[in-house]
A and B are shown apart, each in its own frame.
Chain A
Amino acid sequence: MAQTSTPITTSENSQPPIIEIRNFDFAYGDSQALFDINMDIKEKEVTAFIGPSGCGKSTFLRCFNRMNDLIDIARIKGGEIKISGVNIYDKDIDVIELRKHVGMVFQKSNPFPKSIYDNIAYGLRIQGVKKKSTLDDVVEECLRGAALWDEVKDRLNESALGMSGGQQQRLCIARALAVRPKILLMDEPCSALDPIATAKVEELIHELKKDYTIVIVTHNMQQAARVSDRTAFFYLGKLIEFENTDDIFMNPKNPQTEAYISGRFG
C-alpha cells in the first residue's frame, strides 16, 4: 500500500507498535467522519483520545474492534488498521476472534441482567468453557484484577443490576478481562460516574497497564493527563496531535490543541 504521509508517532521508538493505523478514512453514509488518520499505538501503554464532542474519537475507537460493523451505513473509505501486524479489515478476518483479542468497555455500564458471577463467566461460557473450577478461578482473578473482589465476593450470585454505578463499570471491565484480550478499549468509561468511583476506575487503569494495552476515549482532560502515557487530540475527524501526555499538556505544538487544552473551545 502506498504510504503518502509518515505516521505521527511519539519520539521514543523502542518497541514495535501493537496497533498501526495508516491513512484511515471512515464515513457514515455520505458524511466522512475520519480523515486520513495515521498513528501507532504501543503495547502496554495507556493511550488517551481527547477532543470536542463529535470529533470522531469514539468512532475511531470502535474501529479497532469493528463495532462499527453493526452500523449499516458505516464504511471504510481507505487506509488500514493493523493489529499485531494483521489488517483487521481484511476480507478473511474472523471478527469474533478479533473482539476476543480487543476487549471493550462502554460509556454507559452495561452489565447483563444476570448475576455478577454469570456476567464475568459469560465470555468464557460462550467459548465453551463449562468446567466450574476454571470458571471460579477466572471470575475471582478478573474481579481481583478489576479491584472488585473484596466488595462483591459475598454476593456473586446476586444480580449485577443491584450494584452501584462505579461497581457496575468495574464489573464491565472485569468482564472484558475474562476473555483475556491483549488490548482494552474504553469509551468514556467514567462519564457516568461520580468522582470517587472515577478515582477507583482510574486506579484500576493504572494497574491494568502492566498487562494490557489500553486505549481510552475521554472528555475529561484531567483524566487523560492522570491516566495516559500518550494522548491524541482529535478535531473534526482529524488527528491533530499525538504526543507524550506530558508534552501535549505542557507544551502543545499545535495551536488548536493549545486552544482546546486551555479551555477556549470544546
Chain B
Amino acid sequence: MSAQKAPHPFSKRKSRQAAFESFTTLFFRLATYAVIIAAGYIFFNIAYNGSKAVFMTKAPFINIAFLTQKPQTLHVYEPKEIYDELASIKAEILSSKAKKAALGSGAKTEAAAYSSQIETLEERYETLDEERKEGRLMYSDSEYRALPEPPSEELYAYNNYAYSGGGIGPAIIGTCLLVAGSIAIALTLGVLCAVYLSEYSRPGRVLQLIRLSILNLSGVPSIVFGLFGFGMFVLFFGWGVSMIAGWFTLAIMALPVIITASEESMRAIPKGFREGSLALGASKWTTIRTNVLPYALPGILTSSIMGIARVAGETAPIMFTAAFALRDQLPWEGLTKPTDFFFQGVMALPYHIYVVSAKIPQNEYTRNMQYGAAFVFLFIVGFFALSSIILRVKIRKKYKW
C-alpha cells in the first residue's frame, strides 16, 4: 500500500482540538499582553511628554524651577502680525477644505488644485508658527509683575493661562507631608490591630465582626471616605480643611491594607519562635516584642509601602478635607503658633493634576504644567510601588524559615 509510515500510537498529530488549543492559548496571551501594552503606553506617554517639563538639555539637566516654584499664571505675548496672519491662513485652509469637500466627484482637476493650495498654505503655516515660537514672550506671574511695563499691545497679542507658569513645588511638599503623616497614623493603628488579630484573637463573634469590618472597609469608595472625613474631621471636630483632617482621612483609607499586610507578615513567623520563647518563661508580650515583631517588621514595612503608594495616589478623600487648589504660602510660612502647622490646608499633587486637567484648556502653554505634574506624581508613586515590589521579593528570598 502506501509508503507512508504508520504513526506510532504516541506520535503528535494535528487535529481540530490542537488548533483550538493553540488558538485559545493565543487569546489568553494576547489578553495579557494587551493589558501590559496599554499600561505601558500610558507610562510612556506621560514620561515622554512630562520629561520635557522636568528635564532640560542644559546643565543641571533637571528643571529645578519647575520642581520648586509655586504655580503661577502664565502670561504670553505673541507677535501680533504673525499671530493675525496665522489666524487668516488657518481660516483659508478651512475654507479651501470645505470647498474641496463640496466639489462633486467629477471635478478631479479642481480637487487637485485645492489640494496643492492647501499644501502650500500648510507649509506657510508651519514656518510662520516657528517664527511665532521664536518671537513670543512668556512670563510667569512674578516675572510679569517685575516688568517695568508690559510689552505693547500693538505689537503683541496677549493671552494668559492660569496655573501654567511657575512650578509644582508646594504641591510636592504638600503631598509628601500628607503621605508621611497619614502613614505614621495608619502604621501605628494598623500594626496594633494586626498584633491583636495574629497573636491574641480567639475565634468567635468578635473576631468575625472585626474581619468583616476590615474587608468591608477596604471596599468603601474613596469618595465616601472623603465625605466621612469632611463630616467628622472638618466639620464635627472643627479642624477645617486642614492637613490633619487629610492625615486621618487618608490613614483610615490605608488601614485595611496595612492591617492585612501586617497580620500576614506576623502569621508567617514560625510557631517555633513563639513556643521557644514562651517555654523559657517569657510573657506573651515579651515574646511578641522580641520574637515576632522584629522578624515581621520588614514584611510589614514593605507591604505598607504599597499602602503608601495607594494613599499618595488618592485624590477624592483629600478634595474636601485637606487640599487647596492654590496656596501662596509654603506649609511652614506664616504660622502664628506651632499648632497652626497641622490646621492649614496644603496643595497636593493629585488635586493639582485634577485642577490643571479639568479647569484649564489644553494647549501648548498649559500642556507643560499638566504633563510635568502628572509625570512627577507618577514618578513618586511609582517609586514607592516599585520599591515595595522589589523589596518584597528580596525579603521572601532572605527569610525562609
Contacts and interface: CB of A to CB of B under 8 A. Distances in A.
Given A72-B202, A110-B270, A112-B273, A104 B282 contact: no
Contacts, number: 68
Given A72-B202, A110-B270, A113-B295, A104 B279 contact: yes
Nearest to A111: B276
B295 A100 contact: no
B283 interface: yes
B111 to A, nearest CB: 81
Interface string B271-298: 0111111111111001000110001000
Contact of B276 (A98, A100, A172): A172
B281 A99 contact: yes
B279 A126 contact: no
Interface in B361-401: 399, 401
Contacts of B276: 106, 110-112, 172, 175
B203 interface: yes
A111 B276 CA distance: 8
Contacts of B291: 112
B277 A112 contact: yes
Given A72-B202, A112-B291, A99 B278 contact: yes
Interface residues of A, number: 27
B281 A122 contact: no
Contact of B280 (A70, A72, A111, A122): A122
Given A72-B202, A72-B203, A122-B290, A110 B275 contact: yes
B281 A123 contact: yes
Contact of A126 (B202, B270, B275, B282): B282
Contacts of A108: 272
A3 to B, nearest CB: 31
A126 B286 contact: yes
A172 B276 CA distance: 8
A97 interface: yes
Interface in B323-371: none
A96 B279 contact: no
For chain B, the bracket of interface size reads 20 to 34
Contacts of B278: 67, 70, 99
Contact of A123 (B202, B272, B274, B280): B280
A100 B282 CA distance: 8
Interface secondary structure of B, over-half rule: helix
A126 B290 contact: yes
Interface in A87-112: 96-101, 103-104, 106, 108, 110-112
B273 A96 contact: no
B203 A67 contact: no
A180 to B, nearest CB: 10
A106 B275 contact: yes
A175 B273 contact: no
A122 B280 CA distance: 9
Contacts of B281: 96-101, 123, 126-127, 179
A70 B199 CA distance: 10
A198 to B, nearest CB: 20
A100 B283 CA distance: 10
Contact of A99 (B274, B279, B290): B279
A122 B277 contact: yes
Contacts of B401: 113
A65 interface: yes
Interface string A129-160: 00000000000000000000000000000000
A97 B282 CA distance: 9
Given A96-B282, A99-B280, A175-B280, A67 B290 contact: no
Contact of B279 (A67, A97, A112): A67
28 contacts: A67-B278, A67-B279, A72-B203, A96-B282, A96-B283, A99-B278, A99-B280, A99-B281, A100-B281, A101-B281, A104-B275, A104-B279, A106-B272, A106-B275, A106-B276, A108-B272, A112-B276, A113-B295, A113-B399, A122-B277, A123-B281, A126-B277, A126-B280, A172-B276, A175-B276, A176-B279, A176-B280, A179-B281
Interface of B: 202-203, 270, 272-283, 286, 290-291, 295, 399, 401
**4 closest A-B pairs (Cβ-Cβ)?**
A110-B272, A100-B281, A104-B279, A123-B280
